[in-house]
Amino acid sequence: MVQLKEIPVLVHRRTNPDTLARLVELFDARLFDGTVESIPQADRAAVRGMAIMGKVDAALMDALPQLEIISHFGVGYDGVDVAHAVSRGLMVTNTPDVLNDEVADTAVGLLLNTVREFPTAERHLREGRWTSGAYPLTPMTLRGRSIGIMGLGRIGLAVAKRLEAFGLPIAYHNRKPRTDVAYRYLPTLKDLAEAVDTLVIVAPGGAETDRAVNADILQALGPNGVLINVGRGTIVDEEALVEALESGTIRAAGLDVFAREPHVPERLLALPNAVLLPHVASASRATRQAMGQLVIDNLAEWFAKGEAITPVPEVSAAGHVDRKRD
Ligand code: NAP
Ligand code: 8YV
């Protein structure tokens, strides 16, 4: 029987505290700050697993000769050089499904806050201005809006179901149409932006979607347009978005993710027609615990059985993982 406590696992210090405590209890956890330099030589030679969120580049993987598995905290793994991991025969896992509802709830909340200006209305009350006059009627309403989802995957579908229940028509753009939904499919992002007035981004980051929402797409969304992004900040050309919001090319935006987190451009911060959240879509304690449990379960399953519960698709497609077990 494998003794998990004897298996050295590299753990990012900033891991969710509940998960960090459990990892330390279960494994021979070696903490680091995400950089190669912060890993003592003895740990570099020993570690067989990694529990991490964010960036895992080739240099980090190559500094760890015994590494077998990267268990990533988060469903989006655009920070992991998966091609390199595959070339080294490493297992890579992420945390799908357990956060779908939380992130979809946030997307809907962000949309309502953006369209109905609730954060600004709340400030009106807290700052004592209600006694001198009602908050102005909002020019926007969710009524009559048409929703376009870029990325109708696990989370995108949960967003679609919620907004369908709100009585709104749903269209979407993926690289391929889904065969299990009746929502209208648009073959390009431009087609989708032209067809709707509310664009919700729930696609993955990475080279393929980098700045896909550019000035052209924002122009196509139009002057009544609302952009909601809970996918990745890199998907939106932030400079173009600021210009579109300043000039009225689109009406408003609600953003949970940014291109260079935690830095948000000053011009975006100054805009009254943008609602900005600090990447909190999955950030309830319960959901982060569920994500952490999946990080742990993937490591435990790997070291016990040589299988993972939620391998990323690229690893499954490659079909080869080197398992160096004793
Ligand atoms: P998923 O099930 O894999 O869904 C991703 C969807 O995006 C799929 O429908 C996919 O369809 C589509 N897609 C992929 N590449 C595309 C492209 N180049 N152009 C258009 N569509 C594309 O993933 P998920 O679990 O729903 O998560 C989606 C993303 O949400 C994550 O990758 C992450 O970046 C983000 N996220 C953010 C937060 C947050 O805290 N804000 C939390 C969780 C997740 P095709 O393969 O047919 O293109
Ligand atoms: C987390 C996310 O905020 O799962 C994702 O892709 O973006 C979020 O759920 C992040 O991964 C935790 O650091």
**pLDDT at residue 325 above 50?**
no
Average pLDDT of the chain is 97
The model's pTM = 0.97
Residue 34 beta carbon below 6 angstroms from any ligand 2 atom: no
Which phi and psi angles does 303 have, rounded to 5°? -75, -25
Let me know if 261 is a catalytic residue: yes
Nearest-CA residue for ligand 2 atom 6 is 76
Q: Which two tokens stand for residue 320?
A: 């080869």
Q: Where in the chain is the domain with CATH 3.40.50.720?
A: 4-96+285-318, 100-276
User: Is the pLDDT at 320 greater than 90, yes or no?
Assistant: no
Q: Which residue CA neighbors atom 11 of ligand 2 most closely? A: 74
- Which residue ranges have their beta carbon within 6 Å of ligand 1? 75-76, 96, 99, 103, 150-156, 173-176, 202-205, 208-209, 230-232, 256-257, 279, 281-282
Q: Which atom of ligand 2 is nearest to the CA of 279?
A: 3
How far is the C-alpha of 303 from the C-alpha of 1, rounded, in Å?
Answer: 10
- Nearest ligand atom owner, CA of 291: 2
Percent of the chain at pLDDT > 70 equals 98
44 part of the active site: no
Encode pLDDT of 269-292 as tens digits: 999 999 999 999 999 999 999 999
Domain 100-276: give its CATH architecture. Answer: 3-Layer(aba) Sandwich (3.40)
Q: What are the pLDDT digits (tens) for 94-116?
A: 999 999 999 999 999 999 999 99
Proximal ligand: closest to the CA of 100: 1
The strands making up 49-52's β-sheet, listed across from edge to edge, are: 28-32, 8-12, 49-52, 69-72, 91-93
4-96+285-318 homologous superfamily: NAD(P)-binding Rossmann-like Domain (3.40.50.720)
As a whole number of Å, the end-to-end CA separation of the chain is: 11
Q: What is the pLDDT of residues 117-173, one digit of tens each?
A: 999 999 999 999 999 999 999 999 999 999 999 999 999 999 999 999 999 999 999
Chain centroid, CA 111 distance in Å: 17
